[in-house]
A and B are shown apart, each in its own frame.
Chain A
């Protein structure tokens, strides 16, 4: 088991390193130049040259890479070119709480709604509730996040006037959080619902459930206390699998609702061609996804010894 974990972590580190290399070169081989965005309009060609030299952009790409690589291996991700030239880790770290708030609430919404509907659907297959649930799952899977967001704004901000349509700077207040979190969580409802429904259906067929039913326990207790406990393992796996999708979704959600998170930081830093900040954002996102993947693999190996051998 120990060696399995070590091998998975090593693989993860190699993948992360390769991603950092790829991102470095894609950024620099693409069009645009960060210096254009840093200097004022009336900058002279000398200023331009000075700035280019200061950042080492005049040197060969491979030399620039070597410098980045050395720093990276020392744990230094560099300073941002925009954002007051502070260390990128600081810039990203500052935006992180807003994103975690949003992502966490979205996951919570997806799990609570998805699992509840899925479990009730499984207890009454083919009922009207089950059919409506299926329709909800199919729509949740097919609606793009930004459309869900706009529709929610239309309904709750424009028509009913209950909730604000933008995240604003001052807060992570609950009222501001509801719409963004719901749009981000909406597409995750479908997968949670489907997996809960199908595992619950299986569990509800088993002998021990028939036994507790025969004992005369009320259906609600059978469903939540006896059946759900056993059906919850795949649901928890799915919870982790969704993290990668959540990051992509956050970029879009944060843009619609002007939410001051990491996703918007990525879009902003890309527009200004702030290479170090872009690199750091993607580095951390990839590291996050890899950690979650390793965690899931290790959990699986722990639960099912056959995987360790393969």
Chain B
């Protein structure tokens, strides 16, 4: 029979492969239980590609090589070359730069506008709320992609304009969801106490309400980034997004579409990159939502 102390010693002994993993990593692993690890890894991978594109990419993404026009995947060009002999792998890696930058900045812009509208509407209520929510509804009735197309077509296709258009046409989701949260929080005891204690409305808004909507905000941010990636590539695909010769995944697909009958490899990989990034954002967003909302964990 073992004494208690021995029992503990045995339990503390690292067993199998898990014993080889250092403690901090094991803790991180426990925190990520149920997380879509592949998706998280892919997002990190895309961010690394975006950050270190010049180091990773084997070729210059806009350098044309007329000896390699529409070359199928080979040792020199792993993913083949496009209609101007540009290396598709390098272009896809550089494409991450544009997609990530546009999506992240645009969604932060949208989130800032939406959250501000929600906080003001929810804290001040009354006619302020009514007017702001009517405006939100109006924006929601806009055929979104049509208006985005129109604005970019007229203002000129540039990265800045694409960011502005996505940012200023996608804040309504944030405004609606977060306003609901704010209304709920305004009824809670701690906000009531803060009012009794004499806090001003702006103070309540920033000190008491805002910190409590950050979780929801984070979930929405992740989900919206996926959508923004799709919007940016759609605009670029229609020739009204990121201007050439900058490699955007959308404009790569537009070029590739014309050669689809002779070069299958040219549309496949950039589309795959968009899909993987969007899917990863969606899965991580779903996971974050389930984590912050225990009632959904079982679903």
Interface residues of A (CB under 8 A from B): 11-12, 15-16, 18-19, 23, 26-27, 29-32, 138-139, 141-147, 150-151, 153-154, 157-158, 165, 198, 244, 247-248, 251-252, 255-256, 266-267, 270-271, 278, 281-282, 285-286, 289-290, 293
A residues near B268, Cβ cutoff 8 Å:
151, 154
A147 touches B154 (CB 8 A): no
The CA-CA distance from A31 to B240 in the complex, in Å, is 14
Top 5 A-B pairs ranked by shortest CB distance?
A30-B154, A147-B271, A248-B145, A142-B279, A142-B278
A286 touches B271 (CB 8 A): no
Identify the interface centre among A26, A151, A157, A248: most chain B CB within 10 Å of its CB: A248
A30 touches B141 (CB 8 A): no
Known: A26-B154, A144-B234, A293-B141. A251 touches B146 (CB 8 A): yes
- Does B174 count as interface, using CB distance less than 8 angstroms? no
The CA-CA distance from A278 to B137 in the complex, in Å, is 22
> Chain B: interface secondary structure?
helix
B238 touches A248 (CB 8 A): no
- Since A142-B226, A142-B275, A255-B237 are in contact, a sample of 19 more A-B pairs with Cβ atoms closer than 8 Å, ordered by chain A residue number, is A15-B141, A26-B150, A26-B151, A31-B156, A138-B283, A139-B279, A142-B282, A146-B234, A146-B237, A147-B253, A147-B274, A150-B256, A158-B260, A252-B237, A256-B257, A266-B149, A271-B153, A282-B146, A282-B150
A residues near B131, Cβ cutoff 8 Å:
none
15 contacts between A and B (CB under 8 A): A26-B147, A27-B154, A30-B154, A139-B279, A141-B278, A142-B226, A142-B279, A144-B230, A144-B250, A144-B274, A154-B264, A154-B267, A198-B299, A244-B144, A251-B146
The CA-CA distance from A167 to B34 in the complex, in Å, is 45
- The range of chain B's interface size is 35 or more
A residues near B275, Cβ cutoff 8 Å:
139, 142-144, 147
A251 touches B154 (CB 8 A): no
B150 touches A247 (CB 8 A): no
- Does B297 count as interface, using CB distance less than 8 angstroms? no
A278 touches B271 (CB 8 A): no
Identify the interface centre among B137, B141, B283: most chain A CB within 10 Å of its CB: B141
Closest A residue to B271 by CB, please name it. A147
- Does B222 count as interface, using CB distance less than 8 angstroms? no
A residues near B260, Cβ cutoff 8 Å:
150, 153-154, 158, 165
B233 touches A144 (CB 8 A): yes
A32 touches B154 (CB 8 A): yes
Chain B nearest CB from A247 CB (Å) reads 5
Closest A residue to B270 by CB, please name it. A147
Known: A19-B138, A153-B260. A270 touches B151 (CB 8 A): no
- Does B261 count as interface, using CB distance less than 8 angstroms? yes
Closest B residue to A198 by CB, please name it. B299
Interface string of B129-143 (1 = CB under 8 A from A): 000001001100111
B153 touches A30 (CB 8 A): yes
- Does B28 count as interface, using CB distance less than 8 angstroms? no
Identify the interface centre among B151, B257, B261: most chain A CB within 10 Å of its CB: B257
Closest B residue to A150 by CB, please name it. B267
Chain A nearest CB from B66 CB (Å) reads 25
Identify the interface centre among A19, A30, A147, A290: most chain B CB within 10 Å of its CB: A147
Out of A29, A32, A150, which one reaches B257, CB within 8 Å? A150
The CA-CA distance from A252 to B253 in the complex, in Å, is 13
- Does B196 count as interface, using CB distance less than 8 angstroms? no
A residues near B264, Cβ cutoff 8 Å:
154, 158
The CA-CA distance from A147 to B271 in the complex, in Å, is 6
Instruction: Find residues 224-272 in chain B having any chain A CB closer than 8 Å to their own CB.
Output: 226, 230, 233-234, 237-238, 250, 253, 256-257, 260-261, 264, 267-268, 271
